[in-house]
Structure 1
Amino acid sequence: MTQIVVGENEGIESALRRFKRQVSKAGIFSDMKKHRHFETPEQKRKRKEVAKHRQRKRSFRN
Protein backbone atom coordinates (compact mmCIF):
# COMPACT_ATOMS: atom_id res chain seq x y z
CA MET A 1 0.00 0.00 0.00
CA THR A 2 1.31 3.41 -0.97
CA GLN A 3 1.40 5.95 1.81
CA ILE A 4 2.85 9.45 2.23
CA VAL A 5 3.26 11.68 5.25
CA VAL A 6 2.30 15.32 4.73
CA GLY A 7 4.70 17.80 6.29
CA GLU A 8 3.57 20.74 8.42
CA ASN A 9 4.28 23.43 5.81
CA GLU A 10 3.60 21.26 2.77
CA GLY A 11 0.69 22.15 0.51
CA ILE A 12 -1.95 19.65 -0.48
CA GLU A 13 -0.99 20.01 -4.16
CA SER A 14 2.61 18.93 -3.60
CA ALA A 15 1.52 16.05 -1.36
CA LEU A 16 -0.94 14.90 -4.02
CA ARG A 17 1.81 15.10 -6.66
CA ARG A 18 4.11 12.97 -4.48
CA PHE A 19 1.32 10.45 -3.91
CA LYS A 20 0.55 10.18 -7.63
CA ARG A 21 4.24 9.67 -8.39
CA GLN A 22 4.54 6.87 -5.83
CA VAL A 23 1.37 5.18 -7.10
CA SER A 24 2.62 5.25 -10.69
CA LYS A 25 6.03 3.89 -9.67
CA ALA A 26 4.38 1.05 -7.75
CA GLY A 27 2.30 0.09 -10.82
CA ILE A 28 -1.00 0.31 -9.00
CA PHE A 29 -2.90 2.01 -11.86
CA SER A 30 -1.93 -0.60 -14.43
CA ASP A 31 -2.85 -3.39 -12.02
CA MET A 32 -6.16 -1.70 -11.25
CA LYS A 33 -7.01 -1.37 -14.96
CA LYS A 34 -6.09 -5.01 -15.55
CA HIS A 35 -8.45 -6.23 -12.80
CA ARG A 36 -11.29 -3.81 -13.50
CA HIS A 37 -13.38 -6.37 -15.43
CA PHE A 38 -13.50 -10.14 -15.35
CA GLU A 39 -11.58 -11.69 -18.21
CA THR A 40 -12.39 -15.14 -19.53
CA PRO A 41 -9.50 -17.51 -20.25
CA GLU A 42 -10.11 -17.07 -23.98
CA GLN A 43 -9.92 -13.28 -23.70
CA LYS A 44 -6.75 -13.56 -21.63
CA ARG A 45 -5.16 -15.84 -24.22
CA LYS A 46 -6.05 -13.41 -27.05
CA ARG A 47 -4.70 -10.43 -25.11
CA LYS A 48 -1.41 -12.19 -24.45
CA GLU A 49 -1.15 -13.24 -28.10
CA VAL A 50 -1.64 -9.64 -29.25
CA ALA A 51 0.93 -8.42 -26.74
CA LYS A 52 3.43 -11.00 -27.96
CA HIS A 53 2.81 -9.90 -31.54
CA ARG A 54 3.39 -6.24 -30.60
CA GLN A 55 6.58 -7.15 -28.77
CA ARG A 56 7.93 -9.02 -31.81
CA LYS A 57 7.02 -6.09 -34.07
CA ARG A 58 8.96 -3.68 -31.83
CA SER A 59 12.01 -5.91 -31.65
CA PHE A 60 12.24 -6.12 -35.46
CA ARG A 61 12.20 -2.32 -35.79
CA ASN A 62 15.33 -1.83 -33.67
Structure 2
Amino acid sequence: MVKLRLRDNESIQDAVRRFRKLVEHSGIKKEMRRREFYEKPSESKRRERRRARNRARVNQMHLG
Protein backbone atom coordinates (compact mmCIF):
# COMPACT_ATOMS: atom_id res chain seq x y z
CA MET A 1 0.00 0.00 0.00
CA VAL A 2 1.28 3.44 -0.92
CA LYS A 3 1.03 6.16 1.70
CA LEU A 4 1.63 9.82 1.02
CA ARG A 5 1.77 12.65 3.50
CA LEU A 6 1.57 16.23 2.34
CA ARG A 7 4.67 18.20 3.09
CA ASP A 8 4.54 21.71 4.47
CA ASN A 9 3.73 24.22 1.73
CA GLU A 10 3.44 21.48 -0.92
CA SER A 11 1.02 22.10 -3.76
CA ILE A 12 -1.57 19.53 -4.72
CA GLN A 13 0.05 19.12 -8.15
CA ASP A 14 3.39 18.25 -6.56
CA ALA A 15 1.72 15.77 -4.20
CA VAL A 16 -0.13 14.10 -7.08
CA ARG A 17 3.13 13.87 -9.04
CA ARG A 18 4.86 12.24 -6.04
CA PHE A 19 1.91 9.87 -5.58
CA ARG A 20 2.01 8.76 -9.22
CA LYS A 21 5.74 8.14 -8.96
CA LEU A 22 5.28 6.09 -5.78
CA VAL A 23 2.54 4.00 -7.39
CA GLU A 24 4.68 3.43 -10.48
CA HIS A 25 7.69 2.32 -8.44
CA SER A 26 5.64 0.01 -6.21
CA GLY A 27 4.37 -1.94 -9.23
CA ILE A 28 0.68 -1.50 -8.40
CA LYS A 29 -0.16 -0.24 -11.88
CA LYS A 30 1.60 -3.15 -13.56
CA GLU A 31 -0.17 -5.62 -11.29
CA MET A 32 -3.56 -4.04 -12.05
CA ARG A 33 -2.97 -4.33 -15.79
CA ARG A 34 -1.90 -7.94 -15.38
CA ARG A 35 -5.04 -8.84 -13.41
CA GLU A 36 -7.43 -6.87 -15.61
CA PHE A 37 -8.35 -9.99 -17.62
CA TYR A 38 -8.08 -13.65 -16.72
CA GLU A 39 -5.09 -15.33 -18.28
CA LYS A 40 -5.11 -19.09 -18.65
CA PRO A 41 -2.13 -20.85 -17.06
CA SER A 42 -1.04 -22.13 -20.47
CA GLU A 43 -1.00 -18.56 -21.81
CA SER A 44 1.08 -17.30 -18.90
CA LYS A 45 3.56 -20.16 -19.33
CA ARG A 46 3.78 -19.42 -23.05
CA ARG A 47 4.40 -15.73 -22.31
CA GLU A 48 7.14 -16.58 -19.80
CA ARG A 49 8.84 -18.95 -22.26
CA ARG A 50 8.75 -16.26 -24.93
CA ARG A 51 10.31 -13.75 -22.52
CA ALA A 52 13.05 -16.24 -21.60
CA ARG A 53 13.75 -16.91 -25.29
CA ASN A 54 14.02 -13.18 -26.00
CA ARG A 55 16.31 -12.68 -23.00
CA ALA A 56 18.55 -15.51 -24.20
CA ARG A 57 18.67 -14.02 -27.70
CA VAL A 58 19.62 -10.58 -26.35
CA ASN A 59 22.30 -12.11 -24.11
CA GLN A 60 23.73 -14.02 -27.07
CA MET A 61 23.93 -10.82 -29.12
CA HIS A 62 25.79 -9.05 -26.31
CA LEU A 63 28.24 -11.92 -25.89
CA GLY A 64 28.78 -12.67 -29.57
| TM-score in terms of structure 2 length | 0.83
Structure-1 residue corresponding to 2:48? 48
4+ residue segments displaced more than 6 Å: none
Question: 1:1-62 maps to which residues of 2 (within 5 A)?
Answer: 1-62=1-62
Structure 1: 5+ residue stretches without partners: none
Q: Distance in 2 between matches of 1:54 and 1:29?
A: 24
AA aligned to 2:60 is F
**How far is the alpha carbon of 1:42 from its aligned partner?**
1.3
Q: Distance in 2 between matches of 1:35 and 1:58?
A: 28
**How far is the alpha carbon of 1:54 from its aligned partner?**
1.3
Q: Distance in 1 between matches of 2:19 and 2:51?
A: 30
Percent of aligned pairs with the same amino acid: 24
How many residue pairs align between the two structures? 62
